[in-house]
């Protein structure tokens, strides 16, 4: 490496971090170190399919070291960020301290339980691949309990699933759980019947899919209701006591499974001035994604909030396309900065919002109009497969999809319970 090589540290290899690295690694004046707590990049929009055993986790994840095999200017450091020190230009991780010229924070969001302690302790989140694997094992284990018990109340409790949150994640999960009940469990658990009536979706808003168009909201309601889900609107999940889900309307639903998709908050970073952390815990950035009050620290994607885009004065939505576009632009901007050229401000190009409601039905809000049904589902499929990193994943995912499509019988539903004991030499 030449002495004037600039060292860039990127914390978080999600959509924002990976697209930033992909862009900047073309400029050989930089050495890039990507830090992530996992050794793989994964694709959050499809984790709900892992959690219901429709696809395997390896279909939507890819190891960083493999991704960077042919990239001599990119290093990977596995570890979790503990704090940053912008004055000393260094970051402390659980696995060592690193020094930078430029720092990029792209750690996304974490589940927000809004201070509900029992819910934080006992509900199942849906944010990471680990969460998806836990939910998958939990549901399959509950099904085994339901089969064994002769007590009807116990059986209902084991089979009941309450989803808190009627946004895209809650709706997509509800749709696929209903499919799982109809297409798979009915075949594999002949002891049980009427699987579809055990699904509840609770939303504090008066509609499902609040960020989408009215047409999308109505379609989601219609399809989920037809699939047998009980939809409870204008209501919050407020507690979870002895496997009873307590609602703000006073109702209680006995359920061994409460899935919490109700809220997120940006990952907090120690070492940042409190006034820079604003709404939703997001880091305040300027039009170039530069953290307020610094020259060398940038923040991207879900973790940041920029109010400098004329079309989005309140800030951008926390979606994959914003993270991807910001990551790519910052990669270009750092090269411009080194060249002494002015950086370009970020302007979000909205390519549309979509949610899949059931196996063959989706809703898509495009800047030009609305799509639903089968056509929307096919476009959803392409949009979600094409961005998957690595050729192998695209191929495997497409093949698996085709297989489940034809046979209605996707992956093998193994209950894997990893031993959590630490083994140190
Ligand atoms: C279940 C689900 C479904 C979604 N569906 C859609 C969808 O259909 N369409 C859409 O546009 N958006 C969807 N989103 C939102 C979309 O995934 C996010 O907007 C996008 O991932 C944001 O990208 P990011 O790079 O900012 O953060 P992320 O993709 O979340 O990446 C953050 C990275 O930081 C790492 N990290 C976190 N904390 C630390 C730490 N302390 N130290 C080191 N590394 C850390 C993580 O391991 C991860 O690799 C969905 C999100 C979820 C959870």
What's the CATH fold of domain 117-262? FAD/NAD(P)-binding domain (3.50.50)
Higher pLDDT residue, 403 or 5? 5
- CA angle (144 as vertex; 142, 148 as ends), nearest 5: 115
- 3-state DSSP of 268-287: CCECCCHHHECHHHCEEECC
Is 81 a pocket residue for ligand 1 (Cβ < 6 Å)? Answer: yes
Is 16 a pocket residue for ligand 1 (Cβ < 6 Å)? Answer: yes
Query: Among the listed ranges 15-29, 54-68, 359-373, 393-407, which one has the minimum average pLDDT value?
Result: 393-407
Tell me, in angstroms, the distance from the centre of ligand 1 to residue 44's CA. 6
Question: How far, in Å, CA of 170 to CA of 188, rounded?
Answer: 25
Is 203 a pocket residue for ligand 1 (Cβ < 6 Å)? Answer: no
The pairing of beta strand 90-93 with beta strand 81-85: antiparallel
Q: Which of 178, 171, 180, 165 is nearest to 245 (CA)?
A: 165
- Pair of tokens at residue 203: 């939303």
What average pLDDT does range 199-208 have in this prediction? 97
pLDDT for 423 beyond 60? no
pLDDT for 424 equals: 47
Higher pLDDT residue, 376 or 280? 280
Is the domain defined by 6-111+265-338 classed in CATH 3.40.309.10?
no
Is 45 a pocket residue for ligand 1 (Cβ < 6 Å)? Answer: yes
Residue 299 CA, chain-centre distance (Å), reads 18
Is 25 a pocket residue for ligand 1 (Cβ < 6 Å)? Answer: no
pLDDT for 68 equals: 93
pLDDT tens for residues 394-407?
Answer: 777 777 777 766 67
What average pLDDT does range 40-65 have in this prediction? 89
Helix 15-24 crosses helix 320-338 at what angle (to 10 degrees)? 30
Give domain limits for the chain: 6-111+265-338, 117-262
Tell me, in angstroms, the distance from the centre of ligand 1 to residue 185's CA. 30
> What are the backbone angles phi and psi of residue 82, rounded to the nearest 5°?
-100, -50
pLDDT for 425 equals: 44
Question: How far, in Å, CA of 117 to CA of 100, rounded?
Answer: 38
Tell me, in angstroms, the distance from the centre of ligand 1 to residue 4's CA. 33
Query: HSE-up of 87 (CA within 13 Å, CB side)?
Result: 2
pLDDT for 411 equals: 66
Q: Which atom number of ligand 1 is nearest to the Cα of residue 126?
A: 1
DSSP string, 7-36: EEEEE--SHHHHHHHHHHTTSTTEEEEEEE
Tell me, in angstroms, the distance from the centre of ligand 1 to residue 320's CA. 8
Q: Which of 306, 314, 318, 376 is nearest to 347 (CA)?
A: 306
Q: Which of 201-205, 292-296, 349-353, 394-398 has the highest mean pLDDT?
A: 201-205
Helix 152-159 crosses helix 129-148 at what angle (to 10 degrees)? 160
The pairing of beta strand 109-111 with beta strand 264-266: antiparallel
Is 93 a pocket residue for ligand 1 (Cβ < 6 Å)? Answer: no
pLDDT for 13 beyond 70? yes
- Look at ligand 1, atom 42, and give the residue with the nearest C-alpha: 80
pLDDT for 227 beyond 60? yes
Q: Which of 51-55, 254-258, 293-297, 387-391 has the highest mean pLDDT?
A: 254-258
At 132 the three-state DSSP class reads helix
Tell me, in angstroms, the distance from the centre of ligand 1 to residue 109's CA. 7
- CA angle (203 as vertex; 122, 300 as ends), nearest 5: 80
pLDDT for 148 equals: 93
pLDDT for 147 equals: 92
pLDDT tens for residues 138-196?
Answer: 999 999 999 999 999 999 999 999 999 999 999 999 998 888 877 777 788 888 865 55
What average pLDDT does range 236-264 have in this prediction? 96
The counts of H helices and E strands in the chain are 12, 25
Query: Among the listed ranges 204-213, 249-258, 392-401, which one has the minimum average pLDDT value?
Result: 392-401
Query: HSE-up of 318 (CA within 13 Å, CB side)?
Result: 24
Higher pLDDT residue, 292 or 348? 348
Q: Is the dihedral of CA 396, 398, 400, 403 positive or negative?
A: negative
Please indicate whether the domains covering 6-111+265-338 and 117-262 agree at the CATH topology level: yes
Tell me, in angstroms, the distance from the centre of ligand 1 to residue 189's CA. 35
Is 98 a pocket residue for ligand 1 (Cβ < 6 Å)? Answer: no
- CA angle (265 as vertex; 83, 37 as ends), nearest 5: 45
pLDDT for 164 equals: 98
Tell me, in angstroms, the distance from the centre of ligand 1 to residue 253's CA. 31
What average pLDDT does range 29-38 have in this prediction? 98
What average pLDDT does range 247-262 have in this prediction? 97
For the chain, the average pLDDT equals: 90
What average pLDDT does range 22-33 have in this prediction? 97
Q: Which atom number of ligand 1 is nearest to the Cα of residue 15?
A: 25
Tell me, in angstroms, the distance from the centre of ligand 1 to residue 406's CA. 31
- 302: which DSSP letter? G
């Amino acid at each position: 490496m030449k002495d004037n090589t600039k060292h860039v540290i990127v914390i978080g290899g999600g959509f924002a971090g990976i697209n930033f690295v992909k862009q900047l690694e073309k400029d050989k004046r930089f050495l890039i170190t990507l830090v992530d707590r996992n050794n793989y990049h994964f694709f959050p929009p499809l984790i709900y399919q892992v959690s219901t055993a429709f696809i395997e986790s390896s279909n939507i994840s890819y190891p960083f070291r493999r991704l960077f095999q042919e990239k001599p200017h990119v290093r990977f450091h596995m570890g979790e960020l503990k704090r940053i020190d912008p004055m000393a230009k260094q970051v402390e991780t659980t696995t060592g301290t690193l020094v930078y010229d430029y720092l990029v924070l792209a750690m996304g969001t974490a589940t927000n339980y809004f201070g509900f302690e029992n819910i934080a302790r006992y509900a199942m989140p849906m944010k990471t691949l680990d969460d998806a694997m836990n939910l998958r094992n939990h549901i399959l284990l509950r099904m085994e309990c339901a089969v064994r018990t002769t007590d009807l109340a116990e059986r209902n409790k084991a089979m009941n699933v309450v989803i808190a949150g009627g946004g895209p994640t809650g709706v997509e999960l509800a749709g696929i759980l209903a499919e799982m009940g109809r297409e798979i469990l009915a075949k594999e658990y002949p002891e049980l019947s009427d699987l579809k009536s055990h699904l509840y979706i609770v939303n504090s808003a008066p509609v499902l899919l609040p960020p989408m168009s009215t047409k999308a909201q109505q379609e989601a309601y219609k399809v989920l209701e037809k699939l047998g889900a009980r939809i409870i609107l204008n209501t919050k999940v407020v507690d979870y006591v002895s496997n009873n889900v307590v609602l703000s309307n006073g109702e209680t639903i006995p359920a061994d499974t409460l899935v919490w998709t109700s809220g997120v908050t940006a990952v907090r970073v120690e070492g940042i001035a409190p006034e820079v952390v604003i709404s939703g815990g997001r880091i305040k950035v300027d039009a170039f994604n530069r953290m307020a009050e610094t020259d060398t620290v940038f923040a991207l994607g879900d973790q940041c909030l920029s109010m400098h885009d004329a079309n989005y004065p309140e800030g951008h939505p926390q979606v994959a396309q914003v993270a991807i576009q910001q990551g790519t632009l910052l990669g270009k901007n750092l090269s411009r900065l080194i060249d002494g050229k002015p950086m370009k401000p970020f302007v979000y190009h909205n390519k549309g919002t979509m949610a899949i409601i059931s196996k063959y039905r989706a809703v898509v809000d495009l800047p030009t109009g609305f799509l639903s049904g089968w056509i929307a589902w096919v476009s959803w499929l392409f949009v979600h497969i094409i961005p998957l990193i690595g050729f192998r994943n695209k191929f495997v995912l497409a093949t698996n999809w085709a297989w489940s499509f034809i046979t209605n019988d996707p992956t093998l539903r193994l209950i894997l319970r990893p031993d959590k004991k630490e083994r140190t030499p």
